[in-house]
Structure 1
Amino acid sequence: MAMNRRTFLGLGAAGAVAAVHAYGAPAATAFPSAPAFSSTPAFPSTPAAAPTRRFAIGVREYAWSRGNRRLTTRIFYPATGNPGGNPVVGAPIADGVFPICEFSHGLGGNPESYAPLIRPLAEAGFVVPAPVFPTTSSGTQGNIQDVYNGNQSKDVSQVITNTLALNTTAGDPFAGHLDTTTGVGVAGHSLGGMTTHGLLTAWPDSRIAAAVPFACVDMGNPGTTVRANVLFVHGDQDSVCQYSSARQAYTELPAPKAFLTHRGTGHDQYIWSGYNHTQTVATYVDWMRWSLYADTAARDRLRADATSGTTTTTWEAVLTSLPTGPTVSLRSRGNGQYVCAENAGADPLVANRATVGDWERFDLVDLGDNNVALKARANGRYVCAENAGADALIANRTAVGPWETFRRVNNSDGTVSLRAQANNQYVGAANNGTGPLTANRTAIGPWESFDLTTG
């Protein structure tokens, strides 16, 4: 556990607070402690077919516990009836077998306050247990230590165990309706996002097949027993949970993984209706459908559903392929020489070639919204502008993220300029073409302008 990497949250970190709704609850039941998890979870290759319709939402409450910790849990689920209304207490569960996707609220919140993230999952065909954490929910003192000491992550594991047990509990409405072999999903925001990340790291639960931590911080080194598809969602101006900490957490996890950045926003605006809410929910539901239903159509929607003018996405081992585009060469207006990626992976890009060969050809990959990536034809690697302004562009990346994404600018003289998405600086050819290309220019001139030719 890397305690020194964590960002401690003040008591101001919270999801929106809402009144706790009273639901009819079965008698309190103390389930056994969560078992020791296998290091090789047996997830089947053919989970249930993904639903093709929206469901109405039902909700039931269970009075569970872990030791002396009360874990009131409201389970939202696909129900019979017409979709679009509020959750109906005790509604009959819809026909079918559904994956489980737990949700953890933020500090001062509860399941109702996170309806924008819980209801879409239930409507899409997931059973969503949402615990009310005993020390960080609305009306409590807000003991955030229960996140850092692992209590909340362990609570979630207990809730997963209890929910799975309902599938074989005689007389329970969920009996026979829960997918107990595909693996489970987990998600949460703020303290709930940290709780989620803790289940992948310091307090691992190998039953987890998919995770979406919203606005989390790094809770430790990845566990070796968890094999999960992980989507991070974060605002790059988050003053509560540092964006850099979530990026570090992302870097440390193995693929498949992705990171959805909401540029220019803070801790939670993208969750509620309005600012990029549509992109957040669509991407999140796509992720769970792909991970737990093997829904390849949802996987293929990810890029489009995540895209807006103020979002940035990083994908690793997620998409089967990126869109294709024409093969192009770029000739600098500053010296009339072509950009070359010779020895890509070792040497930077330079604009010093008089003729076009394999090392001067790039696939211009259309990423949508006038964004492109450049893939060197000679080695199949993407051009990267990481540390632009200090380091040169180099064609050595196997995946496309913010530093491999460029905004195409069509200039009035017919040339094209490229602006790195990650820092909004233009690509320029330095020192009359003898120096490497860098993305550190704030204005467009001859050295930032390129003639684009195809073939």
Structure 2
Amino acid sequence: MFVPRLVAALVAASLTVLLVGCGSVTAAPGVAASPRPAPREAYLVGVRTLTVDAGSARPLRVTVWYPAAAGRVAPGRFPLVLHSHGLRSLPALHTALTTRWAAAGFVVAAPTYPNTNLRAARFSRHDVRNQPADAWRVIRHLTRLAGTRGDPLAGHLDTGRIAASGHSAGGFTTAGMFTSGHPERLRAGIIIAGGGMAGSFAGPPATLLFVHGAADQVVPHHVGRSAYARTDWPRAFLTLPGQGHGEYLTPGRPGFAQVLAASTDLLRWRLYDDPAAGRRIAAGATRAGVTHFENHLGPA
């Protein structure tokens, strides 16, 4: 079902400060150039919902936020971000990040996982192990829609440039997507208050951003650090001293601006080949007394 509605314009306005000062895009050697430069201004945001494999034993309800203009997907082709919720959560509880990423020029898709969401009839934390495969089903479905004449996403999705992100169990789900054999088009991962899964961080290298509260009592900080230490891929670790499992994901709370800036610039760098964004990550992530940033991302 396509439900065009615009999210409040303040989301786009709040992103404008993150998008100024962006230079032209230069592709790295051997990498196909992005079909368009990274956006310089924030978009309005539209939202639609759809169901993947509706008649199967494991249907997935998916919320999709997208850059919007005149009540439809904005002109152009946009990279994809697959975002995963945590235990007893929902995509709607993650809009502080997902709508802002969409305003910055990304199509953001968030599945409602069948057995770990807030309203699951048969809740099971063990079902997290099945969620990386669910996430890939969503990506394949959206890839088909992007080539389907008449679909609102047709011609608007850059399926060669994908990132994955997630919070808590969604962070573990995200790590589980980076296993041996994952396609090179999965270029970046954002793991928030999560950790690794069996087989994580294998296959083609990608760029990773870990975000974790140092006082997290749900997924302890050392779990995220252990996952971080398991890979020598380009990576960074953003710690929020004194903070718990996710209060820093609420607009206006300490650390939110730094998490938003670092994650948005990481996505712009890796999915739009925007080196200026790559060079901004450390500065955007750092605020004395609020964050600590460990940087092994390499040159932008």
TM-score, normalised on structure 2?
0.85
Aligned-pair CA distance for 1:223: 4.5
Aligned-pair CA distance for 1:203: 8.8
1:220 partnered with 2:198: yes
- Partner SS state of residue 245, structure 1: helix
Contact 2:210 2:237 in 1 (8 A): yes
In structure 1, C-alpha distance between the alignment counterparts of 2:239 and 2:284, rounded to whole Å: 13
Written as runs of structure 1 = structure 2, the 5 A alignment for 1:105-120 is 105-120=85-100
Written as runs of structure 1 = structure 2, the 5 A alignment for 1:281-296 is 281-296=260-275
Gap runs ≥5 in structure 1: 1-21, 26-42, 82-90, 321-455
1:241 partnered with 2:219: yes
Matched residue, 2:175: 197
1:267 partnered with 2:256: no
Q: Which amino acid aligns with 2:84?
A: S
1:143 partnered with 2:124: yes
1:46 partnered with 2:26: no
Aligned-pair CA distance for 1:319: 3.8
1:254 partnered with 2:232: yes
Contact 2:215 2:243 in 1 (8 A): yes
Q: Which has the larger radius of gyration?
A: 1
- Partner SS state of residue 99, structure 1: strand
- Partner SS state of residue 257, structure 2: helix
Deviation per CA, 1:57-111, whole angstroms, max 9, x where unpaired? Answer: 1111111128410101111000005xxxxxxxxx311011100011111112111
- Partner SS state of residue 270, structure 1: helix
Written as runs of structure 1 = structure 2, the 5 A alignment for 1:28-427 is 44-47=31-34, 48-65=36-53, 67-81=56-70, 91-140=71-120, 141-147=122-128, 150-181=129-160, 183-201=161-179, 204=182, 206-273=184-251, 274-309=253-288, 310-320=290-300
Q: Which amino acid aligns with 2:213?
A: G
Written as runs of structure 1 = structure 2, the 5 A alignment for 1:429-448 is none
Aligned-pair CA distance for 1:225: 2.1
Contact 2:205 2:233 in 1 (8 A): no
- Partner SS state of residue 100, structure 1: strand
* Alpha-carbon spacing, 1:109–1:205, altered in 2? closer, same or farther (3 Å): farther
Contact 2:179 2:203 in 1 (8 A): no
In structure 2, C-alpha distance between the alignment counterparts of 1:224 and 1:112, rounded to whole Å: 31
Contact 1:234 1:243 in 2 (8 A): yes
Q: Which amino acid aligns with 1:196?
A: T
- When the two chains are superposed, the root-mean-square deviation of aligned CA atoms in Å is 2.0
What is the percent sequence identity of the aligned residues? Answer: 36
In structure 1, C-alpha distance between the alignment counterparts of 2:176 and 2:81, rounded to whole Å: 16
- The 4+ residue runs of structure 1 with deviation greater than 3 A are 22-25, 201-207, 221-224
Matched residue, 1:7: none
Deviation per CA, 1:177-203, whole angstroms, max 9, x where unpaired? Answer: 11122x311101001111001112489
Deviation per CA, 1:167-226, whole angstroms, max 9, x where unpaired? Answer: 111110111111122x31110100111100111248955541111010002213444323
In structure 1, C-alpha distance between the alignment counterparts of 2:155 and 2:32, rounded to whole Å: 20
Deviation per CA, 1:298-354, whole angstroms, max 9, x where unpaired? Answer: 11111111011221111114345xxxxxxxxxxxxxxxxxxxxxxxxxxxxxxxxxx
Matched residue, 2:25: none
Count of residue correspondences: 270
In structure 2, C-alpha distance between the alignment counterparts of 1:226 and 1:107, rounded to whole Å: 29
- Partner SS state of residue 180, structure 1: strand
Q: Which amino acid aligns with 1:142?
A: F
- Partner SS state of residue 158, structure 2: coil
In structure 1, C-alpha distance between the alignment counterparts of 2:180 and 2:82, rounded to whole Å: 18
Matched residue, 1:414: none
Q: Which amino acid aligns with 1:257?
A: R
TM-score, normalised on structure 1?
0.57
Q: Which amino acid aligns with 2:261?
A: A
Contact 2:45 2:102 in 1 (8 A): yes
